[in-house]
Each structure stands twice: as C-alpha cells, then as structure tokens.
Amino acid sequence: MALLPILQYPDPRLHTVAKPVKVFDHALQKLVADMAETMYDAPGIGLAATQVDQHIQLIVIDLSKEKNDLLVLVNPRIIAESGHQDYEEGCLSVPGIYESVTRAEFITVEAEDAQGKTFKLDADGLLSVCIQHEMDHLKGKVFVEYLSPLKRNRIRSKMIKHAREIERNSY
C-alpha cells in the first residue's frame, strides 16, 4: 500500500473529466487500496481518483468512526434525486476551507463495486452530500465553484499564498 499525493486547489488537473472504468483488474484493486489508505491517513471521509491525479470514475468513502466501512463506487450514476439540503463542506484538495453548499437531499446511486458488480444505494444526509461532492470531482468540479466569484477568488489566493509558504519553508 502507499500514500498518494493529493492535488491541491487551484491545480488545473482537478478540472479533468474522469473516464469510465472498463477493466476491473489488479491495478484497480491497488488504486482502491492506496486511495483508502490516503483518505484514512489524511484523515478524510471521501476521496475521488481525480484528487490523486488518476482520471477514472472511482470514489472511496468511509463515514464510520472506526474507519472500517469502506464504500467503493466505480462509474457512479445518480438515477433519482429529490429535496434540497445545505451542508458545510470541506475537501482534502482545499484544506482549511469549509463552506455551505446546497445539494439534493435524497439520491439513489447505481455503481459498480471494485469487482465490477453493479449495485444500487439509497443515500440521505451526509452520505448523500459526500457522494455528490465526490461525483463532482469526477466531472472536474470542486465545491468552491458553487460559491460566489468573490469567495472563490479569496480561497484561490489563500491557497496559492499557503502553497508558496510551504515551498519557501522547504528551501
């Protein structure tokens, strides 16, 4: 297993659109394991392959306290949605930033698991938010794009400034 570097906003690679997974091979199983390890280490509750610079439709999520309930979604598609909810979201690609986003309250998702078996999942609350947030990554969209241009530009500047400071401290 290995920890993978997480792309940091505003890295342009975060806007890459992910391709569907067609082959459920050993390389895919390894990426799932490495993404899970990377998410648990962060720690985070969700990670999309886009964030580790792998542009395929793969998401890992774990909302459990014990970090022992990994949900793997390959080629996820929302087949039903209803209602609205606001949630204060964060993102491993935008550390230290938390902002409220409005999304669907209830969703039904169809996806393949890591072995290629299709399943259906009804989600509400945080799980629903997290799946929608991670599916946005696969479309090349980061949650800050739901905010006003003013807020987004402030976040962008803060992230660039922070990255420069890290860079300077490593000299």
* Residue 99 annotated to the active site: no
Q: What residues between 38 and 57 interact with ligand QAP by CB under 6 A?
A: 42, 44-46
Secondary element (H or E) of residue 128: helix 125-138
* Residue from 7, 91, 97, 138 binding Co ion (CB under 5 A): 91
Nearer CB in complex with ligand QAP: 117/139: 139
- Catalytic residue (choose from 66, 134, 145, 165): 134
What values do phi and psi take at 169, rounded to 5?
Answer: -70, -15
Indicate whether 59 belongs to the interface with Co ion (CB under 5 A): no
Least Cβ distance, residue 67 to ligand QAP (angstroms) = 12
Task: Return all residues near 2 (Cβ < 8 A) that are at least 6 apart.
Answer: 34, 37
Cβ 103 vs Cβ 121: under 8 Å: no
Distance CA 7, CA 53 (A): 7
> Mask of contacts with ligand QAP, 88-117, x by CB under 6 A?
-xxxx--xxx--------------------
Indicate whether 97 belongs to the interface with Co ion (CB under 5 A): no
Distance CA 2, CA 146 (A): 32
- Residue 61 burial (C-beta neighbours within 10 Å; 0-12, 13-18, 19+): buried
The catalytic residues are 134
Contact residues toward ligand QAP (CB under 6 A) are 42, 44-46, 87, 89-92, 95-97, 129-130, 133
Interface residues toward Co ion, by CB under 5 A: 91
